[in-house]
Chains A and B, each alone.
Chain A
Amino acid sequence: MLLTTSVGSLPKPDYLTAARAQARRGELSAKGLRALEEQATREWIKLQEELGIDIIVDGEQYRGDMVAYFAEYLGGFKTSELVRSYGNRYYRKPIILGKVTRPKPITVDWWKFAQRLTKQPVKGMLTGPYTIMDWSFNEYYPSRRAATLAIAQVVREEAKDLERAGAQYIQVDEPAISTRPEEMDLAIEALGIVTKGLKAQTITHICYGDFKTIGPKLHRLPVDQIDLEFANRNFELLDFFKGKRFPKQIGLGVVDVHSHRTESREEVVNALKKALKVFKPEQIFVDPDCGLKTRTPKEAIEKLRVVVEGTRLMRETLLN
């Protein structure tokens, strides 16, 4: 009960950030970069083991943007010139120019590499079809729906391959799902294509915009576990689940990934106490609110440590 995990991304060490910039400028070979990505992955896996995290992630040291990464390896996509996301942040938004295909598995080699390094289960990490569609331009498919359903097929192939390789947990993230409430049914349908018949435990992480509109449909998401941010809204989201018998497992974000401050163990324990009034202990998975890649490595480690320590304290209280 109260298994600990993380949402997916972990910060890149300085040497890897520098190496990625060098590789972009053509000053470092793909092989040279790969060696450093592997080194960083090894370091993060060792760290998670030492911290005592139950379900481990590879930390996505070889990925940049969670949609652009998949678009780079899928057929039918091209990358664009820079577009602005907010403030002074710009990114290259993928453009769908042809039929979306998956020439070969994308994340499976990395998953195998990570799993070989540890006895703990390593989660397979994918981006969901609705999010890939919403975060791309579409010049090929006649509608957003057609594009989403086509992408769902290739994400499914990838999920199947991860399962075949041995992944016990497969997470399919859909942070865009709250963007257009009127398309929630489409997102659910597409996610259903990805997860249908999988024997692995399936998870989706969503960052909610307007929770009032998507909340009532949450239980229809075709996954075993829904992972949500609780800490950054002061656990008010728990009220939504109060008095309902939520039929799925819940990924409970207990530390805010947007703040530099590390929460105390007591804060994590208090959060779990609140959550245990709403959910059963075996229903809860404990993690940070979201991917930790925007924190420094030191901040990320401290946040993960407090997640584990707070959860341990809570487990002990429950057992006694």
Chain B
Amino acid sequence: MITTTVGNYPKVAEGAYSTKLIGAVSKWQRKELSDDGLEGIFQELTRAVLKEQEAAGLDLLTDGQIRWEDLVTPIARRLEGFEINGLTRWFNNNVYYRRPILHREPVRRGPILADDYRFAAGCTKKPVKAILPGPYTFALLCEDRHYKALRPLVMKLAEILNAEARALAAVGAPFVQFDEPAIGFGKTDLKLALEALKVAAAGVKAKTAVYTYFGSLNGSLTALMKAPVDVIGVDVVSDSKALSALAKVKVTKELAIGCLDARNTKLESVKELQAILRAVSRRVDPKRLYVNPNCGLEFLPHTQARAKLRRLVEAVRSVAKTKTRSR
């Protein structure tokens, strides 16, 4: 089993790497801190969260998305055609993102995340994965004043995200993940979402993944197994029925199992996690199993986020140990 996180990690840590980002961003907004000054702090914090993941014993790391205000703003503001607009609720959370407005055909002028990726990968010997919004979720989170139709927008974003994914693979990302939380909400056009993923993941010289979280996949799990990526991420915390649904589906891909609640501070016991991991191991070869919290860890205060990561590794190691013994 490979331990990893879904993406983001607390940007401030009162008991550890400081809360200096808050003041730095305010100063930068008032133009009292230069771009380079802010970049220095981003780098310092990125290094700190990578070290924490290493110390927790994680196998596959992320840069913690320290620079990301939300899943779409960092990409949308670097594309032509978008304007970043007002606050909108982030799915079913008391957290907000800025809704991008699309005014004309979006254009990507060059790599967006490659430099950030290179920096993060240089901070650790462990593999670091790259995260992108999935095309379907990205489209649903926008206010589209250009195409005024979902399909052309989703497919255009798929093309753009594909270029970005290829660029990330080219600078060494061994794993590129597309986040598609929107798939779990309302009436999803899953066919369109999968068609777009196929475009987004095409020719990317890295392992590719689609991660779903927050919602409920009821009924769409079988179809999701056909997603043209290597790894399917399923949140078994938000949807209490996901685990039993998983037992009925033929798992044809590698699976990433979101088994710790990253939206509540209550720390899971090793025993509860073992039960989930054992149940899933019956369906998937543990070598083809990624284990992570159900979503990004930024909903949690730092102390609890770190405790959850450690617990995750502890649970995975304990399952692996009993397995070896039983052989």
Residues on A facing B (Cβ under 8 Å): 80-88, 90, 93, 95, 134-135, 137-139, 176, 178-180, 209, 258
A111 to B26, CA, bound (A): 36
Bound complex: CA of A180 vs CA of B13, how far in Å?
29
Shortest CB distance A179–B (Å): 5
Q: What chain A residues lie within 8 Å of B98 (beta carbons)?
A: 86-87
From B298, which residue of chain A is reached at the shortest CB distance? A84
Q: How far is the CB of A64 from chain B (nearest CB, A)?
A: 16
By beta carbon, the residue of chain B nearest A258 is B86
Find chain B residues with CB under 8 A from A93 CB: 301
Residues B94 and A135 in contact, CB atoms below 8 Å apart: yes
Q: Is B303 an interface residue (CB 8 A)?
A: yes
Could you list 20 examples of A-B contacts with CB < 8 Å? A80-B304, A81-B302, A81-B303, A83-B298, A83-B300, A84-B95, A85-B94, A85-B95, A85-B96, A87-B69, A87-B98, A88-B25, A88-B26, A90-B12, A90-B22, A139-B264, A178-B89, A179-B92, A180-B92, A258-B86
4 additional contacts, CB 8 Å, given A85-B94, A139-B265? A83-B299, A134-B94, A137-B264, A138-B266
Option from B14, B21, B87 in Cβ contact (under 8 Å) with A81 = B14
Q: Is B10 in the interface zone, CB < 8 Å from A?
A: yes
User: How many residues on B have C-beta within 8 angstroms of the other chain's C-beta atoms?
Assistant: 35
Q: Please give me the 5 A-B residue pairs with the lowest Cβ-Cβ distance, nearest first.
A: A81-B301, A86-B96, A139-B266, A137-B265, A88-B25
CB distance from A228 to the nearest CB of B (A): 16
Q: Does B34 contact A (CB under 8 A)?
A: no
Report Cα–Cα, A95/B304, bound state, in Å: 11
A83 and B10 within 8 A (CB): yes
Do residues A209 and B266 form an inter-chain contact, with CB atoms below 8 A?
A: no
State A142–B265 Cα separation when bound (angstroms). 13
Minimum Cβ distance to chain B for residue A205 (Å): 16
Chain B residues numbered 91-140 whose CB sits less than 8 Å from any CB in chain A: 92-98
Nearest CB in chain B to that of A135: its residue: B94
> In whole angstroms, what is the CA distance A137 to B262 when docked?
11
Distance, CA A176 to CA B29, complexed state (A): 29
Which of A86, A134, A139, A178 has the most CB atoms of chain B within a 10 A radius of its CB?
A86
B26: chain A residues within 8 A (beta carbon): 88
Is B264 a contact partner of A86 (Cβ separation < 8 A)? Answer: no
B242 CB → nearest A CB, Å? 15
Residue from the list A81, A84, A179 in contact with B89, Cβ < 8 A: A179
